[in-house]
């Protein structure tokens, strides 16, 4: 098989959104259109996921592997789509951010009534930092929502990215009736649906296509007011800006915007068509020895996520590797660069809608699960023998904190081992007081559920009971000195109103109990840098 051709077909992306915007629905439709599933509702099991921790654990155990790790790989219009799931609800965690380091682009999904919401904003920041191309799909147009111009303004001002609407909503009697494709000059009109039939495949009906804005059939179909509104709005759009600049899109500076209703299949076709046309295949990735091209023959990839089996009986760990160049074949030998060890990839695994299956070969752009012999850490590089390393995946400042106490002091050893392993996997951030200073162990996470996971796993896998206590901290910042000198912990302690701690990699962190304390530290101590993310050792 021609590797070059295979890499050229790969499109590796994620959907970023706030819970309830319709990510599950859109994913389902993608699978449906890709012919992967026959019926809508297959991804829906996920929706029924209860936020109750015990249920979630049960589900994890039943499945053997976390359902939060799904990587959906499926063919679509001659392409191979790799959709990486970004867990959102209660299981929002650092993994969600890390996943965004493994993709080449993202679809930002907005609820038309709600616009840019908190979680979208957080996820967007990671995408923006990586300067990856971002599509915007405004969903739920079938419901009363915000004015489309208003939404454009919000995305531009809140997220700081330019917007170019490629499709534009068309209304009949104030009701969403179709989209105008500005680049193709075509209007797609949808038939009004019976509300009861409005969900799933049964509702899929071919859109009525109208050639252009001047087509008399359009004026007739939309009525006088609908037609006048469309004419007026499209004129405004043309006046407002330049043409669609693909270079700016690829640089992550301009987001093409689309409107529709995922649940009703409205506006999805033109969106997916543009997505397939514009979304780039894997590109070069930076390493400490210069960029690596996906067409390079030697295999390379990096670990972006480690998932331990929740089942005590099968205590395996799976490392998720994003391939960046070459080809991975089952049974091949690879170099784990950080340790310098060679290992054989006996059972590389791929995932489809939550099911795992062995994979014989995969290419740059793909995501493969490999068995972790207890060696991997987030960000580790695997190669065919070379010694370069991909740029590390940053750690992100947690937003929730808890004190951690051991119930049985005799289990100190198991406790330490368990914590080390969990920290290696990147399940939570762990902070301890510097040598010689008293203080509690503090856990930090992006989602509260992570604390329960740690508690559960320490108990189940290491037989260690722990107590989680409240902690007053609200913010964590990694500290470095502007002049590059090492941070003197005592001086820092005296300078800031917060708790000075070290993370598992020995990096200096200050925990603050309110935003104001951080601002004061920033103002009074410009010699320090208080960073929200940290990379490397």
Segment (H or E) for 172:
strand 167-172
Separation CA 113–CA 29 (nearest Å): 21
Separation CA 333–CA 226 (nearest Å): 63
- To the nearest whole angstrom, how small is the minimum distance from the Cβ of residue 413 to ligand G4P? 42
The response to whether 140 counts as a known ligand-binding position is yes
The response to whether 18 counts as a known ligand-binding position is yes
Cβ proximity to ligand G4P, 24 vs 68, nearer residue: 24
Cβ proximity to ligand G4P, 263 vs 310, nearer residue: 263
The response to whether 342 counts as a known ligand-binding position is no
Cβ proximity to ligand G4P, 114 vs 493, nearer residue: 114
- To the nearest whole angstrom, how small is the minimum distance from the Cβ of residue 260 to ligand G4P? 7
- To the nearest whole angstrom, how small is the minimum distance from the Cβ of residue 184 to ligand G4P? 22
Cβ proximity to ligand G4P, 257 vs 511, nearer residue: 257
The response to whether 21 counts as a known ligand-binding position is yes
- Reported for 511-514, long-range contacts at CB under 8 A and 24+ positions apart, including other chains, are 511/401, 511/431, 511/442, 511/444, 511/471, 511/473, 511/475, 511/476, 512/473, 512/474, 512/475, 512/476, 512/477, 513/472, 513/473, 513/474, 514/474, 514/475
- To the nearest whole angstrom, how small is the minimum distance from the Cβ of residue 352 to ligand G4P? 19
| DSSP secondary structure of 445-513 | ESSTHHHHHHHHHHHHHH---EEEEE----EEEEEEETT-PPP-HHHHHHHSSSEEEE-TT--EEEEES
Q: How far is CA 157 from each of CA 121, 142, 345, rounded to the nearest angstrom? A: 12, 25, 47
- To the nearest whole angstrom, how small is the minimum distance from the Cβ of residue 22 to ligand G4P? 3
Cβ proximity to ligand G4P, 258 vs 473, nearer residue: 258
- To the nearest whole angstrom, how small is the minimum distance from the Cβ of residue 351 to ligand G4P? 18
Cβ proximity to ligand G4P, 24 vs 395, nearer residue: 24
| Contacting residues for 475 by C-beta, under 8 A, at least 6 apart | 397, 399, 511, 512, 514, 515, 518
Report the interface residues with ligand G4P, using CB under 6 A: 17, 19-25, 47, 139-140, 142-143, 261-264
The response to whether 520 counts as a known ligand-binding position is no
Answer whether 3's CB lies under 8 Å from 363's CB: yes
Q: Residues annotated in the binding site for GTP, as ranges?
A: 17-24, 85-89, 139-142
């Amino acid at each position: 098989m021609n590797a070059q051709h295979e890499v050229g077909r790969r499109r590796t992306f994620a959907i970023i959104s706030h819970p309830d915007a319709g990510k599950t629905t859109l994913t389902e439709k993608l699978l449906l259109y890709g012919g992967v599933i026959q019926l809508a509702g297959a991804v829906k099991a996920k929706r029924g996921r209860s936020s109750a921790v015990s249920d979630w654990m049960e589900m994890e155990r039943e499945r053997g592997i976390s359902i939060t790790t799904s990587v959906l790989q499926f063919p679509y219009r001659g392409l191979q789509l790799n959709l990486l799931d970004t867990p959102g609800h209660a299981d929002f965690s650092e993994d969600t951010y890390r996943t965004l380091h493994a993709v080449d682009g993202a679809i930002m999904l907005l609820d038309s009534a709600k616009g840019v919401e908190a979680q979208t904003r957080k996820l967007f920041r990671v995408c923006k930092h990586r300067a990856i191309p971002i599509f915007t799909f405004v969903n739920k147009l079938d419901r009363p929502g915000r004015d489309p111009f208003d939404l454009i303004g919000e995305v531009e001002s809140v997220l700081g990215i330019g917007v170019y609407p490629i499709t534009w909503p068309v209304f009949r009697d104030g009701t969403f009736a179709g989209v105008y494709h500005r680049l193709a000059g075509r209007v797609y009109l949808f038939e009004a649906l019976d509300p009861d039939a409005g969900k799933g495949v049964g509702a899929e009906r071919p859109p009525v296509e109208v050639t252009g804005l001047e087509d008399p059939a359009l004026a007739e179909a939309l009525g006088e007011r609908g037609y006048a509104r469309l004419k007026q709005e499209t004129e405004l759009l043309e006046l407002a800006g330049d043409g669609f600049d693909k270079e700016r899109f690829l640089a992550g500076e301009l987001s093409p915007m689309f409107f529709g209703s995922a649940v009703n299949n409205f506006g999805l076709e033109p969106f997916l068509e543009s997505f397939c046309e514009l979304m780039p295949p894997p590109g070069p990735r930076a390493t400490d020895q210069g960029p690596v091209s996906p067409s390079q023959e030697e295999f390379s990839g990096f670990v972006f996520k480690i998932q331990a089996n929740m089942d005590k009986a099968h205590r395996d760990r799976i490392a998720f590797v994003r391939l960046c160049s070459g080809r991975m074949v089952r049974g091949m030998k690879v170099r784990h660069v950080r340790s310098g060890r060679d290992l054989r990839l006996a059972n590389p695994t791929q995932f489809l809608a939550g099911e795992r299956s062995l994979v014989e070969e995969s290419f740059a752009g793909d995501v493969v699960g490999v068995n972790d012999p207890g060696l991997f850490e987030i960000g580790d590089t695997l190669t065919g023998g070379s010694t370069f390393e991909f740029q590390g995946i940053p750690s992100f400042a947690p937003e929730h904190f808890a004190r951690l106490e051991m119930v049985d002091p005799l289990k100190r050893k198991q406790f330490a081992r368990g914590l080390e392993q969990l920290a290696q996997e990147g399940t939570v951030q762990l902070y301890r007081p510097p040598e010689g200073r008293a203080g509690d162990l503090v856990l930090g996470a992006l989602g509260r559920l992570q604390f329960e996971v740690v508690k559960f796993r320490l108990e189940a896998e290491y037989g260690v009971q722990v107590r989680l206590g409240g902690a007053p901290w609200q913010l964590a910042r990694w500290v470095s000195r502007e002049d590059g000198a090492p941070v003197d912990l005592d001086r820092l302690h005296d300078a800031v109103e917060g708790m000075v701690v070290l993370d598992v990699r020995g990096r200096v962190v200050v925990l603050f109990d309110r935003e104001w304390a951080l601002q004061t530290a920033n103002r009074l101590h410009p010699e320090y840098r208080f960073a929200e993310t940290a990379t490397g050792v």
